[in-house]
Every structure is written in structure tokens, then in C-alpha cells.
Amino acid sequence: MSDSTFLDADRLAGLKARLRSGSPAPAQAAPAQATGARSAVPDLGVIFFSGLAGGTDPYDLLLDVSRYIDRAGFTAIWTPERHFTEVGGAYPNPAVLGAALAAVTERVRIRAGSVNLPLHDVLRAAEEWALVDNLSGGRVDLALAPGWHARDFVLNPEGYEKRSLLLNEAREQLQGLWRGTPLERRDPLGETHEILTFPRPVQPELPVWLTTSKNEDAWRFAGENGLNVLSALINFGPPELRRRIEVYRAARAGAGLDPAQGVVSLMLHTYVGTDRARAVELVRPAMTEYLGSFVGQHATSGQAELKDKSDTLLNLGDDRDAFVEMVFQRYVSTSSLIGDTASARTVLEDFRAMGVDEVACLVDFGLPKDEVLGSLARLATLIPQEV
């Protein structure tokens, strides 16, 4: 999943003039407050995405965080698939990372966020993840995505233009293989085989999320096909998220599925400190660098829309830093879990009220490990205790 929140084309027009005149950009609406009794907070997971660990070993951070959240009552640990880029390059294979996490945890769900399935042979994906399912005792969940960066498709050049179609075909094959339905393949000698992958997984059904952000049709497709959704506030805000969740729940109902059973997982940059103002200042250097680091990726993505947004940002020239600061302020105030425990509870309850079932806390954007673990300890106090 690309992270281009700061590159919304609808907001770029006139930014240079606003920056130079000193007038603020239009404020984005904050999440709606729950009415009546306060809603419960969503489940809490942790997601890794950038591999920026405040000067420490990213795998050291990953393993220590995983051990901690396994004991503290968090729901899941998510790891991504990212290729050929320094930011995120620590995570080229979530199955390999999942195997390591299975060895150091006992209860937390081990999730890929996401497998870019068109880059891979579905037989290999089924083998790898069934192995992790065995190592973890049946704790594997997968979010699936079509991939987005043209450079990644050096792994499968023919698949780039039809990646969305390939994703759905491969997803159905993967779920079939998981259940025990063989896949027909032909070997180099021309002989056809009915291939069933091994080891057989522990779980009889593979829990699957579809990774999407703004595309309303993708939300509708996920609902109609009984898939969960992994999303992030990319190029849209909480009011638009609420609308997409409504579309998703309605699509499930229209397909004869329980609309409440589908899981919506939302990725949010997270740091919970003891004082909200101090928390914002602490994350400012790491977050602004993190936001700015994606400009080059979008400029080389091969997708015209993303390249146009990146070119516009690059053309801001001396105003670029001011623009990133403006986006940082908006992002922190409306689309993140950055603050103190009280503000974190309010944000979580607001997202729960609009239908978010899980918040996947993105923590590896450049803070030192002790700050990350301290933040998670404060966040853990908001997890309901089992009776």
C-alpha cells in the first residue's frame, strides 16, 4: 500500500499561493463524535511499513514489539511486502517475517499487510503461508493487494497491466488450495498434474483482507465477496472513510452476509505520550521526514496520477517544507493516533463509532525503540480486560 496522504490532487491547486500569502489550507473534518453512550475501542494491532527504527535494527524493533504486544493483549502483528526501496526495504517477504514471529509469540494473530499476489506464483504463496500457519498453530491472516509500483513488477512484468484481474483470480485459487482444492498445472514435459500444496494448513479457511483505500468499488467488491478490508487514510479523510464503510456493510447485506461480521482494519500512525503537545513535537522530525520520503517513490511509480501529484509537490520548491508541515498538522489532528492516552481513547472511540473494527498502529516511522515500547504500554491501558 502506498502512503500518499500528503499528495491529494484536490488540495494541491492553489497551495503555493496559500503558503506564500500565509493563509491556512481548509481544515479537514475531524472524526465524528459518538453520540450517547461511548462506544468500545476497536481491537488494536501493530503494523510495520517503513523499516525506519530511529537508528536501531528494524528487526530488533519488530521482534521486541511483537513479544510485547503478544503479552499485552493486542490482536495482531502486521508485516508488509515492499521491494527495491530503502524506505520499507526491510520487509521484502512477510511470510519469512511471519515465520520468525511465529517462533517468538503465542497468541497474537500473524498478518500480512499485504501480499502483492500478482507478483507471485500462487502455489508458492499457498506453501509458504501454510507453513507459517503450522508454525504459529493456526494464527495466519492475509491481506492481499494487486501491487502498485511498476518497478516491483520486474518480478512479473507481464502482470502489471492486468494486476487487478490477476489478484482476484489468484485470491480464489489461494483460498481453494487452502481448503484442499487442487490446482491444475502442466509440467515441462507436457503432462498435466492436479497440484495440492503441502504442508496442509491448520486453519480450514484462510481469513482474507482486501487492501484498498479510496476506491469505493473495491470496498463494495470486498463486501459482496465476504472479504475483510485493510485501509489507510490515503487521499481521503474520516468522513469519506465512514461513507466507504457504509458501502461495505450494505454490500455484505446485499450479498446475504451478516453486515456486522466483516472486519475493517485501519492503519494509523501511532505514538501515545504522557502529554499531547509533547507527543506531537516528539514525532514531528520523524513524521515530516517520513512523509517527504515518498515523493521520489511516487515520481517513479509508473502511475500517471501518482507521478503528477509528486511532480506538483516537487515543483513547490522553497515552499515544500512549509507544505509538508501543513500536511503534518492536518494528518496529526485528523488521521493519526498521536497524542496522549485521553486523546487516543477519543480517536479510537470515534473510529469505532463509524465502523472500524481494528486499528493497526503503524509504529516504525523513525522513533527510538524505547519510545515505541513506552507508547504501546500506554496504549495497552485502553484494551478492555477479559473477565
Average pLDDT over residues 105-111: 98
Q: Is 186 exposed, middle or buried, given 0-12, 13-18 or 19+ CB atoms closer than 10 A?
A: exposed
Q: Is the pLDDT of residue 319 over 80?
A: no
Instruction: Report the first-to-last Cα separation within the chain, whole angstroms.
Output: 37
User: What is the pLDDT at residue 158?
Assistant: 96
Least Cα distance to 300 among 150, 131, 154, 173 occurs for 150
Whole-angstrom Cα distance, residue 107 to residue 110? 9
Which domains are assigned to the chain?
5-184+192-380 (3.20.20.30)
Average pLDDT over residues 49-55: 80
Whole-angstrom Cα distance, residue 309 to residue 321? 16
Average pLDDT over residues 94-120: 98
User: What is the pLDDT at residue 147?
Assistant: 94
Pinpoint the alpha helices (H) of 137-237.
163-179, 216-224
Would you place residue 52 in the very low, low, confident or very high pLDDT band (cuts 50, 70, 90)?
Answer: confident
Q: Is the distance from CB of 314 to CB of 6 less than 8 angstroms? A: no
What are 157-170's pLDDT values in tens digits? 999 999 999 999 99
Would you place residue 19 in the very low, low, confident or very high pLDDT band (cuts 50, 70, 90)?
Answer: very low
What are 57-102's pLDDT values in tens digits? 999 999 999 999 999 999 999 999 999 988 889 999 999 999 999 9
Q: Is the pLDDT of residue 8 over 70?
A: no
Q: Is the distance from CB of 387 to CB of 363 less than 8 angstroms? A: no
Average pLDDT over residues 27-54: 65
Pinpoint the alpha helices (H) of the chain.
9-12, 15-21, 58-72, 94-104, 122-136, 163-179, 216-224, 238-254, 276-292, 294-299, 304-314, 320-334, 341-353, 369-380
Amino acid at 332: V
User: What is the pLDDT at residue 294?
Assistant: 53
Average pLDDT over residues 335-357: 97
What are 246-270's pLDDT values in tens digits? 999 999 999 999 999 999 999 999 9
Residues β-bridged to residue 231: 266
